Amino acid sequence: MRIGFIGLGNMGGPMAANLLKAGFDLSVFDLSHTAVQAAVAQGAKAVSSPAELARADVEVIITMLPAAAHVKQVFLGDDGLLANVQPGVLLIDSSTIDPHSARDVSAAAKAHGNPMLDAPVSGGTGGAAAGTLTFMVGGEAADFERARPVLAAMGKNIVHCGGAGNGQVAKVANNLLLGISMIGVAEAMSLGVKLGMDAEVLAGIINTSSGRCWSSEVNNPLTGAPAARGYSGGFGTDLMLKDLGLASEAARQARQPVLLGALAQQLFQTFSNQGNGQLDFSAIVKLYQEG
C-alpha cells in the first residue's frame, strides 16, 4: 500500500520508520529538512509540499502535527491536502487536537469525497519507537477497518471509539484524568513524606491499596523513573498543559463543568511559567516542596 506521511517529529518520525519497516511504500513531507532526510535515509521518498503529496499516487495520508492550527493549515489551506487530493484517498490525522476541530476537518474532507479518521495516540515517544502505541479512532466503521492494517504497523491497541471526533474525545478524557491524578498523587506523597514516611514505603502501600493508579505506580512523582533522572524525558509539562487546554476548551463548548481539570490546568500553567515546561509532568510535585 502507498502511504503519504506529514509531520516527522518526535512521534511522527518513529511512526513513519515503523511503516517503512512493515514494507509500506512511503512518501513524506515535513517543514524540517533534517526530519525529511532522516526518513529518506530509511527508505522514504521526499515530496516538497502537502499539495505534492496529495497529488502523488497514495491511497492513505497520515498527519502527525503539533496542534489544530497546523492540522487546519495542512488540510484546509489553499495549497493543502483537500484542495489537491483525489476523492477516495483515506485521510488519518493522528495529531492531538480538540474534538470540534477534528469534526470540522472531517466534515470538510467528507464534502470533498475523502473518508477521514481522527486517530490520536497514547504511549509517548517510547511507544512510537516500539510500535506499541494505542490508537483511539473516530470515524466510520468501514474506514476504521480499512485503516487497521496501517495503524497495526505502528500500534498495539487500536480502538474504534465511534464517529468523527470521538478518538479525540477519548484522548482528551484520558489525559484530563491523568493530569488530575498526577497532582493528587503528588499531594498525597508530599504529605506522607512531610509527616515522616519513607517515599518508597509509602508508594508501595498506595500501590497495593485503593489509591493506586498509573500516576502512583508507573510514574510516581517521587519514586518513578522520571524522578530518578531529574524529571528529564518522559511526558513534558507543556504537553500536559496543551492537553488540559484542549479538555477545558472542549468542556466550554459542551457547557460541561470540569472543576478539577481547571485547577489542574492552572497548577501546570504556574509550574510551566516557573521555567519547568520541559520537565516530565510528574515534577509538579515540586509545587508542594519547600525551597
Supply the residues annotated as catalytic. 171
* Span interacting with ligand NAD, options 66-74, 195-203, 221-229, 254-262, rule CB under 6 A: 66-74
Q: Which H/E stretch holds residue 59?
A: none
Rg (CA), the chain: 20
* Cross-strand bridge partners of residue 6: 29, 63
Closest CB 133 distance from ligand NAD, rounded Å: 8
Q: In the bound complex, what is the minimum distance in angstroms from residue 227's beta carbon to ligand NAD?
A: 18
Residue nearest to ligand NAD (CB): 9
Element holding 282 (H helix, E strand): none
Least Å from the CB of residue 188 to ligand NAD: 25
Shortest spacing between CB 202 and ligand NAD, in angstroms: 28
Instruction: Give the nearer residue to ligand NAD in terms of CB position, either 54 or 189.
Output: 54
State the cell numbers at 214. 498509573
Position among 4, 7, 165, 221 found at the interface with ligand NAD (CB under 6 A): 7
Beta strands in the chain (DSSP E): 2-6, 25-29, 45-46, 60-63, 90-93, 116-118, 121-122, 133-138, 155-162
| 6 part of the interface to ligand NAD, by CB under 6 A | yes
Distances (CA, A) of 284 to 145, 158, 196, 197: 40, 31, 21, 20
Name, in order, each residue with C-beta under 8 angstroms of 106's C-beta and a sequence gap of 6 or more: 116, 118, 138, 139, 164, 165
Is residue 277 involved in binding ligand NAD (CB under 6 A)?
no
Q: Give the interface segment with ligand NAD, choosing from 85-93, 101-109, 117-125, 265-273 (CB under 6 A).
A: 117-125
Identified binder of ligand NAD from the candidate list 5, 27, 30, 248, rule CB under 6 A: 30
Contacting ligand NAD (CB under 6 A), which of 21, 23, 32, 107? 32
Q: Which is nearer to ligand NAD, 55 or 70 (CB)?
A: 70
Residue 76 Cβ vs ligand NAD, minimum distance, rounded to whole Å: 12
Q: Report residue 157 as a C-alpha cell.
A: 491497541
- The footprint of ligand NAD on this chain (CB under 6 A) covers a number of residues equal to 27
The reply to whether 11 sits near ligand NAD by the rule CB under 6 A is: yes
Q: How far apart are CA 227 and CA 20, in angstroms?
A: 35
Query: Is 5 among the residues that bind ligand NAD (CB under 6 A)?
Result: no
Q: By CB neighbour count within 10 A (0-12 exposed, 13-18 middle, 19+ buried), where does 289 fall?
A: exposed
